[in-house]
Structure 1
Amino acid sequence: MYGLNGGGYYHVSEKVMANTISKILIWMVAGLLITFGVAFSIMTNPVMAMTVSRSYLLLIIAQFGVVIAMSGMVKKISVQTAKILFVVYSALTGATLSLLMMFFTTASIIYALIITVVIFSVMAIYGYTTKEDLSKFGNLLRVGIIALIILSLVNMFLRTAAIYWIVSYLGVLIFIGFIGYDMNMIKNNIIIMANGDEELIERFSVFGALMLYLDFINLFIYILRIVGLRNDD
């Protein structure tokens, strides 16, 4: 595998690529285990659930704060700090996600999780193995995110079933696209950094994990909205 470096090309060994991708996936899976571990713990503990419910806004603000801090210091933050922030973010997401999951049956949550794992795996493999440069789809996906946010905000006031389902299906399509896109970008970035700073590559492993983690969580949420059976049904 080769990447362009200044006036020439440099070799990127399959071992370097495989090791970096492995680190990214390990961190992503670790983050997901923390998230769902925290979520199910809160769901089964009424006292914790009540505490999280009362602190929901603060938890959301904390989530945004951690992501902004990580994104804004991508080149300055130490590897250890990046890892700590990722773990904290995963736990915070588990707390906020638990409130959504409480509305659905455990069986439908597991069903949605299985579907998410299958779709994520297929799209991640596609994004990694394809010879096509998927960066051209970046603007389209970002426009989709903006449309998704606007529709979600509108439906906070209108509360119509039609917009709810449009947002749910649109969200699934957008994050399916983002999984392939992000994995493709991760692979390309590894090539760019391959003969560069080892610490930068290590740090990127955490940020790459965060990208895929966010894709997984968002895809899961929208799939759950579609296939989830509510506890009061």
Structure 2
Amino acid sequence: MPASSNFQQAIREANSSALVGPNVVSKALPYVGGGMVLTAGGVLGGLSMMSSPLYMPLFWVALIGNFILFFVAQNVASKGNNSTALPLLAAYSLITGFTLSGIVGYAVASAGIGAVGTAALATGITFVVASVLGRRMSDSIGQALGAVVGLGLLGLIIAMVVQVVGSIFAPGMFSTGGFELMIAGFGTVLFVGAAFLDFYTMPRSYTDDQYLAGALGMYLTYINLFIFILRLIIALQGGGRRD
């Protein structure tokens, strides 16, 4: 999971109270917003193609390509080469939206369009609250939260691997029901914590010139938060089953 490596790197680097990029958050936020807009466009594009036989081949190409593009963009952005990183991050955001069209389409079909709106609203509210409280977080709280989020990400990855493997042999047990509800709930709580942590770690992990690297990390936090809230809503709705 690209998000996990990004978080863990930021947590490791933010181990002191010294600010290396006091303005990095304010410089990164417009690009986080722009990335979200491009992602929404990618989702709409994917939804418009879902009935086409080309959708699934394009989905797999986009998924694999996006994974590679993440590491390329992260490497370029971390070096402060923003003129090169910006188009890479724009492409990454747009393709990410395309890969999310599947879960968004499923959410609309199983829980209604309101589920997507609720997930987006909850993500936005979390951002507003985190932007206020995360900046004021003390070093002791920030470093403790960083340790918890780091361990939580490891646990989440293990649980998701178990779910993928288990779904092959017992899809009714691992793909829906209590196990999916547990993962969705845990992921939601974890990325809410990560949302607060971002505002603490970014000024301590990135210089002001590395604002696109910081924007990528924050973008990943809120994309993952949106996904897990959406999964939680679907799980609470019974995965679309109608008794």
TM-score scaled by length of structure 1: 0.79
Matched, 1:29 2:45: no
- Indicate which of 123, 129, 137 corresponds to 2:130: 123
Match of 2:105 in 1: 102
TM-fit CA distance, 1:138: 2.4
Give the distance between the partners of 2:44 and 2:107, measured in 1 at CA. Answer: 12
Contact 1:52 1:96 in 2 (8 A): no
Specify the alignment match of 2:11 in structure 1.
Answer: none
Which residue number corresponds to residue 44 of structure 1? 48
Instruction: Letter of the 2:63 partner, please give it.
Output: I
Instruction: Provide the C-alpha distance between the structure 2 equivalents of 1:98 and 1:50, rounded to a whole number of angstroms.
Output: 15
Give the 3 Å change call, closer, same or farther, for CA 189–92 of structure 1 in structure 2: same
Aligned length: 209
Q: Does 1:205 align with 2:192?
A: no
> Is the partner of 2:138 in helix, strand or coil?
coil
Structure 2-normalised TM-score? 0.76
- CA deviations on 1:64-85 (whole Å, 9 max, x unpaired) are 2112113334454621111111
- Counting only pairs closer than 5 Å after superposition, residues 212-231 of structure 1 correspond to structure 2 as 212-228=218-234
In 2: Cα distance, 1:95 partner to 1:123 partner: 27
Task: Write the deviation string for residues 173-208 of structure 1: whole angstroms up to 9, x where unpaired.
Answer: 111111111210113346xx4xxxxxxx23x11111
Query: What are the superposed Cα offsets for residues 10-64 of structure 1, whole Å, 9 maximum, x if unpaired?
Result: 999xxx945x4332110000000000111023213445x6433223232222122
Alignment of 1:1-233 (within 5 A): 17=22, 20-46=24-50, 50-76=53-79, 78-105=81-108, 106-133=113-140, 134-158=142-166, 159=171, 160=173, 161-189=177-205, 193=207, 201-202=208-209, 204-228=210-234, 233=242
Closer, same or farther in 2 for the Cα pair 1:17/1:140, shift >3 Å?
closer
Partners of 1:152 and 1:78 in 2: how far apart?
A: 34
Measure how far apart 1:125 and its partner are.
2.0
CA RMSD across the alignment: 2.6
CA distance in 2 between counterparts of 1:177 and 1:46 reads 34
Given that 1:70 and 1:77 are in contact with CA atoms closer than 8 Å, whether structure 2 keeps it comes out as no
Q: Is the 8 A contact 2:46 2:101 kept in 1?
A: yes
Which of the pair has more CA radius of gyration?
1
What displacement does 1:121 show?
Answer: 1.8
Structure-2 change in CA distance of 1:120 and 1:76 (3 Å): closer
Identity fraction in percent: 23
Q: Do 1:52 and 1:95's aligned partners in 2 also have CA atoms closer than 8 Å? A: no
What amino acid is aligned across from residue 226 of structure 1 in structure 2? L
Q: Which structure dedicates a bigger proportion of its chain to helix?
A: 2
Runs of 5+ consecutive residues of structure 2 not aligned to the other structure? 1-17
| Separation in structure 1 between the aligned mates of residue 83 and residue 28 of structure 2, nearest angstrom | 15
For residues 181 and 167 of structure 1, the distance between their equivalents in structure 2, rounded to whole angstroms, comes to 21
Name the structure, 1 or 2, with higher relative contact order (CA <8 Å, separation 6+): 2
Kindly state the Cα deviation for residue 96 of structure 1 after the two structures are TM-superposed. 0.3
Aligned-partner residue type, residue 164 of structure 1? E
